[in-house]
Structure formats: structure tokens, C-alpha cells
Structure 1
């Protein structure tokens, strides 16, 4: 598979394809990357910090997401908040540090999970996600066009917000579609209700 180079921002939060994440950016080198992204379509990927990283491992988890910036807001403290939207799944092959908050990475672009109609056995996940967003209005604002009838969309939004061990998330993300993720999340929610 062919690798490509991208800029990488490493965070504690997950973002997956079609997901959205609002980030307050204050670091000058990341602001310059944002400017370059707008002017020249410079690629940006968001990855999750590898809490167990050592000198021989990646600073981020193996799966990241290519993103685009779809909106921005001036905040009360004169900093700027940007809304990132996930575009494509990536597998990180290697990285090197540009600064404390910015990396360069060699990545392999992976196919996104295909859309699936939400089967009746998984309707609970859609209903629970709708309720979750109502209880978290900041997240709800990011999704005016929530696709609650698409199993792929619903499963990825749950993977972004549920406190699941990162290794489990990575195992689910390595799958060719959302079927295992849907079953995994449904089991978690049912266990939580009991």
C-alpha cells in the first residue's frame, strides 16, 4: 500500500470519519498549519495520544483520521476555536516531531466503513445517541444533520464518546465495516442499563 505524508495533531479525544470536534488552538505552529490548510489545502490528521508510548513506539495510536476544518469561532479570550470534520481513516506508519504540539506522519489511507441501514436490533443505539446529544448540547450543535438511521455513522459517534480502552477501539477500527462495533456498543449499553 502507498504511504502519504500528512501533518498530525495528537489529542486525547477521538474523531472518526464524519465526526466533528471543536478545538481551541493557541499554538503558533498549529495556527500556521490551519492557515496553510485554508490557503493550500495542506493535509491535517488528528490522532489520539499513545499513553504507553516509549522511545521505540509511535506517540499516537495506530489509527488516525484525515480531517478538514469546516468552521471557526472567535472566543471571549480572543483565541480561536476551529471545528474539524473527519474525512478518512488512516493507519499511521511513522512520525517525527515538528514541535511539542505538531507532528509529521507517514500514513496509509484506509477505506471508510460503508453506510449501512440501521437494523431494528440496533435501534436502541440510535435512540440512546439522540438522548446523549440532547444531554450534551455542545455536541448536538456540531451535528445539525445527525444520521441516526445509518449504522456506520451511529457506531462511529459512539466509539468517539464512550470510555472504551484504546486497544479495544483500535481493534474495532481495524475491521472492514461497523458490524462488530455495533454489537460491541450495544452490549456495553445493555450491560450499563442492568
Structure 2
């Protein structure tokens, strides 16, 4: 498979395709990158910070993103809303600055479309409740896709406190089936406790 170069911002948060994440940006080089993204379509990817002992500064999973909105905050800084576009595999990285990297990546195929089976409808209802109780997250979305198993499972993977290696394993699967089963088991276990 062909590799390509992209700009990479490394975070503690996970973002997956069709997910949204709001970030307050203050670093000059990242603000300049976002300006080039708007003007010339320069690519940006978000990666997840790696645990110690890895030769890469991020997990091997990243996501190609687009900036879909921005706001000026009370302190005059800017906040940007990023939306995940496509999964990427990070092959190698090179630092540009303290907060920005260049990465050689390979595009990964999207999970195939999958309807929400009856046994997983509880995950959709639970996600809807999660958004009602977390309006700061739900306000990022103009429309939620609670009938789409891919969308529901990826939103859960973004917010659930799962160790990064488990998330990495789940997002590297060929479809969302294992992620849906994992999230369902986790939610059922939480209700029992």
C-alpha cells in the first residue's frame, strides 16, 4: 500500500471517523497549519499519545481530519472543532516543533456500513442518554447517527475509559462487530456493579 506524508498533532484524546473534538489551540505553528488547511487544504491528522517505551511518539492509529468550525474564547484564544475523516496507520514520524510532527501514514479502509442489530440497540439508547448528560459533547454534532452501528461504536470508543491498547485493537478490526460486543459487555458490567 502507498504511504503519504501528513501533518500530525498528538493528543491524549481519541478521535475516529465522523467523530468531532473541540480543541483550544494556542501554539503558533499549529495555528499557522490550520490557516494553511483552510487556505490550501493542507492535511492534518490527529494521533493519540503513545505510552512510554514506544519508538513512536503516538499510537500507530491516527485519523485524517478536517476543521469544521472555530470559536474565539473569552480569553481571546481560538477553539477549533475537528472532524475525523479516515483512519490512518502511522508508519514513522519526524518532529517539526514541540507540538507538531510530520508523519508518513497509510490510509486504512473505513469499516463497512452496518445497521444496528436489535441486541445492540441498548448502546444507541445509552449513547443518546450520554449526550443528554454531556451537552458539551453533543453540541459538536448537528446530527447524531444512532441507527448506524459504526457511528455508535466509534463514539463509544472515543469516550469510554478503555486502555489505549484495547482501543487500538478494536479500531484495527475489519468492521465494528468486535467493538460493539466489547462496549455492550462493558456497559452491562457497569450496570451490574
- What's the TM-score once normalised by structure 1's chain length? 0.98
Q: Partner of 1:46 in structure 2?
A: 46
- Cα RMSD between the aligned structures? 0.7
Indicate the SS of the match to 1:177. Answer: coil
Query: Is 1:61 equivalent to 2:47 in the alignment?
Result: no
* Distance in 1 separating the partners of 2:28 and 2:142: 31
Q: CA 1:37 to 1:53, structure 2 compared with 1: closer, same or farther past 3 Å?
A: farther
* Residue of structure 2 equivalent to 1:179: 177
Q: Deviations over 1:14-52 (max 9, x none)?
A: 000000000000000000000000011000000000022
Cross-structure match for 1:141: 139
45 and 53 in structure 1: CA distance in 2 versus 1, 3 angstrom threshold: farther
Give distance in 1, aligned partners of 2:59 and 2:133.
29
Q: 1:96 and 2:75 equivalent? A: no
Query: What is the deviation of 1:144?
Result: 2.3
Q: 3-state DSSP class of the match of 1:16?
A: coil
Runs of at least 5 residues in structure 2 that lack an aligned partner in the other structure: none
Deviation at residue 133 of structure 1 after TM alignment: 0.5
CA distance in 1, matches of 2:67, 2:131: 22
How many Å separate the matches in 2 of 1:14 and 1:85?
11
Unpaired segments of 5 or more residues in structure 1? Answer: none
Runs (4 or more) in structure 1 with deviation over 4 Å come to: none
| Structure 1 position 134, deviation (Å) | 0.5
2:69 paired residue number? 71
Distance 1:82 1:39 in 2: 15
Deviation (angstroms), 1:143 = 1.5
TM-score normalised by the chain length of structure 2: 0.98
Tell me how far apart the structure 1 counterparts of residues 86 and 76 of structure 2 sit (CA, whole Å).
31
Q: Equivalent residue of 1:130, what SS?
A: helix
Q: C-alpha distance in 2, partners of 1:67/1:181? A: 22
